[in-house]
Amino acid sequence: MKSYAIAAIPGDGIGAEVIQAGMNVLKTLAARDGNFQLHIETFDWGSEYYLANDCMMPADGLEKLKKFDAIYFGSAGDPRVQDHISLWGLRLAICQPLEQYANVRPARLLPGIEGPLKNIGPGDLDWVIVRENTEGEYAGAGGRIHQGFGHEIGLDVAIFTREGTERIQRFALELARSRPAKKLTLVTKSNAQRHGMVMWDDTFAAIREDYPDLTIDKMLVDAMTTRMVLDPTSIDVVVATNLHADILSDLAAALTGSIGIAPTANLNPERQFPSMFEPIHGSAFDIMGKGVANPIGAFWSAVLMLEHLGEKIAATILMEAIERVTSYGNIMPADLGGSATTREITDAMIRLLEGHNI
């Protein structure tokens, strides 16, 4: 029997609630499947850990993580800790050194969920947004001088390397090739940002000829937001920089009903290091502890994790269970207009996976 070592980092706020729900569902799924085992080790890293230890994870945290097959992550963010500390101290501190350069964010209207767009049903909106995940605007280069004075300077430098650009663009082109629609949109802002973004265009121009079977187009990021709202069926795979794709994927999540359902895979495609799977949403402190967090984003992220591990059948079964729950109608969480709790949705998933009706 195959066995996978999973590092769970529930983190802050509702991250802890939805990752616990996800682990319960994953354990049920593995027991039902019978062909693989999951050994899940949970790490208490995050903002509580920071308040006690002055760091979001221990110094040997990365070395610990390298021994796992995958990482199942909740969220990092707490009102008591400045956002840039929690983000850079945990999520980015994992993604960048583990070379998880492909951030993959599927966005799909699930059955039973009505998004804010008119005349759009399941199947009409089926996108994958590919975000560069290790450099660009989130490279961390910059600084502040003369802090607190009127002549203070704050500098954030976006760093785009040819190598980093080409590898994410090729990843997205290959992904588009594997999908039925075979379409790819390159998103930049190369009219206003005339150096790194123009290099993105040039790099893309040099490699797109290797993909004559794809339908390819290019858009500026501002125009892309309009297209996502007004012409959603024209989109398939989108590739963009770290910042641009971060924003576009939040919009995508909202257009599919709620940020609470959207999943993310932070992939190291070469499999040199473990990849990390997490719901797109953050710690949502406004609903923490109320038991109403939507766990679907965490479940869908678990689907991506199983796919990456090669457990395709289990991934399909889990996705089908999610879709049965959403299409059922009576088990909707508050962010999708219902009143089901995290627990009720998780229990419904477990009942389905155990072969019962809901």
Interface contacts to ligand ATP, rule CB under 6 A: 14, 18, 75, 77, 83, 259-260, 281-287, 293-294, 297, 335
Nearer to ligand ATP, 15 or 232 (CB): 15
Least gap, CB of 12 to ligand ATP (angstroms): 7
Beta carbons of 249 and 107 less than 8 angstroms apart: yes
The Cα 124–Cα 130 span in angstroms is 19
Nearer to ligand ATP, 136 or 282 (CB): 282
Least gap, CB of 22 to ligand ATP (angstroms): 11
The Cα 10–Cα 17 span in angstroms is 8
Nearer to ligand ATP, 18 or 239 (CB): 18
Least gap, CB of 217 to ligand ATP (angstroms): 30
Least gap, CB of 104 to ligand ATP (angstroms): 18
- Residue 243, burial from CB neighbour count under 10 angstroms (0-12, 13-18, 19+): middle
Nearer to ligand ATP, 99 or 246 (CB): 246
**Pairs from 34-37 (Cβ < 8 Å, separation ≥ 24):** 34/1, 35/1, 35/2, 36/1, 36/2, 36/3, 36/4, 36/309, 36/311, 36/314, 37/1, 37/2, 37/3, 37/4
Q: Which residues contact 77 (CB under 8 A, 6 or more apart)?
A: 12, 13, 47, 83, 86, 87, 282, 283, 285
- In the chain, count H helices and then E strands: 12, 12
SS3 7: strand
Least gap, CB of 86 to ligand ATP (angstroms): 7
Nearer to ligand ATP, 107 or 293 (CB): 293
φ/ψ (deg, to 5) at 37: -120, 150
Nearer to ligand ATP, 126 or 335 (CB): 335
Least gap, CB of 99 to ligand ATP (angstroms): 23
